[in-house]
């Protein structure tokens, strides 16, 4: 009896991600949700520039590779073309919170009926570890070699907090994938974000605090610890907006 198998929505190919990177976990969670909701045949994913740009090799649903930062606009075009299809984007922090801030905010403002999976690992992974809009104060990266100096480059952007001020947005939640409990919560949030779209509830964004052991210069287990000790205090987990629940109003 098989008790543990690959989700059907995930292709049976090796992922290119570095050892210890949490992209694999999040891919799996998205694929499990697609399976559980039975929506693979009508799901279209959009993965723009970043480490996850090769997501089109990993998800079995139709996939679109998009320009850096533009996934919410591309997803808008896909969703308007086929409103009955389920459209999700899978974006990193440089993509979503730096070059694509405009597209992110306006997709939220329109309450575009799409689902955004936002990977926040405080760094540009694919290009080799540069400072991201979400890099923590003092964080050492390739382009902040003396640590992020908030006097010259400012403070990190907290995406869920920022978007919670946008009236249009429906559902915003920040989760983490650093331990089993948090992974289970992350899956719940991702499922909710897809369900919202099925029910026509509009813009849902799940921010997933993730690791980048390679560019952080940490072993996988130390990276998980770093996430817990440094990221979660700065980026508190939880629901930031939920138009459709009593407590979220």
Q: How far apart are CA 86 and CA 113, in angstroms?
A: 9
The footprint of other proteins on this chain (CB under 8 A) covers a number of residues equal to 34
CB closer to other proteins, 104 vs 170: 104
Q: What is the DSSP letter of 142?
A: T
Q: Stretches 61-69, 129-137, 158-166, 232-240: which one binds other proteins (CB under 8 A)?
A: 61-69
Within a 13 Å sphere around the CA of 78, how many CA atoms are in the beta-carbon half? 25
CB closer to other proteins, 76 vs 134: 76
The residues in 91-110 that bind other proteins, with binding defined as CB under 8 A, are: 102-103, 105-106
Tokens describing residue 154: 């400012």
Q: Which of 22, 52, 76, 135 binds other proteins (CB under 8 A)?
A: 76
Per rule CB under 8 A, is residue 74 in the interface with other proteins?
Answer: yes
Q: How far apart are CA 190 and CA 29, in angstroms?
A: 8
Q: Which residues have CB under 8 Å from 197's CB, separation 6+?
A: 86, 87, 88, 113, 114, 115, 204
Tokens describing residue 210: 């993730």
Per rule CB under 8 A, is residue 27 in the interface with other proteins?
Answer: no
Q: Which of 15, 85, 137, 218 binds other proteins (CB under 8 A)?
A: 85
Per rule CB under 8 A, is residue 135 in the interface with other proteins?
Answer: no
Assess contact for 111 and 138: CB atoms under 8 A: no
Q: Which of 22, 43, 52, 214 binds other proteins (CB under 8 A)?
A: 43
Q: How far apart are CA 111 and CA 161, in angstroms?
A: 16
Per rule CB under 8 A, is residue 175 in the interface with other proteins?
Answer: no
CB closer to other proteins, 56 vs 234: 56
């Amino acid at each position: 009896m098989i008790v543990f198998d690959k989700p059907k929505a995930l292709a049976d190919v090796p992922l290119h991600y570095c050892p210890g990177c949490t992209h694999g976990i999040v891919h799996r969670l998205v694929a499990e949700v697609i399976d559980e909701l039975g929506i693979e045949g009508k799901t279209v994913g959009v993965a723009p520039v970043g480490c996850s740009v090769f997501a089109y090799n990993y998800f079995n649903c139709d996939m679109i590779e998009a320009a850096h930062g533009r996934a919410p606009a591309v997803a808008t075009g896909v969703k308007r073309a086929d409103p009955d299809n389920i459209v999700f984007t899978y974006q990193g922090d440089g993509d979503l919170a730096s070059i694509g801030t405009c597209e992110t905010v306006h997709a939220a403002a329109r309450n575009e009926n799409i689902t955004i999976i936002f990977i926040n690992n405080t760094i540009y992974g694919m290009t080799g570890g540069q400072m991201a809009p979400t890099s923590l104060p003092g964080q050492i990266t390739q382009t902040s070699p003396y640590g992020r100096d908030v006097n010259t480059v400012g403070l990190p952007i907290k995406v869920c907090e920022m978007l919670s001020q946008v009236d249009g947005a429906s559902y915003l939640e920040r989760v983490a994938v650093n331990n089993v409990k948090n992974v289970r919560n992350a899956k719940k949030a991702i499922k909710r974000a897809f369900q919202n779209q099925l029910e026509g509830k509009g813009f849902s964004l799940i921010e997933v605090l993730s690791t980048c052991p390679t560019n952080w210069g940490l072993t996988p287990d130390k990276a998980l610890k770093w996430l817990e000790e440094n990221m979660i205090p700065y980026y508190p987990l939880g629901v930031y907006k939920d138009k459709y629940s009593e407590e979220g109003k």
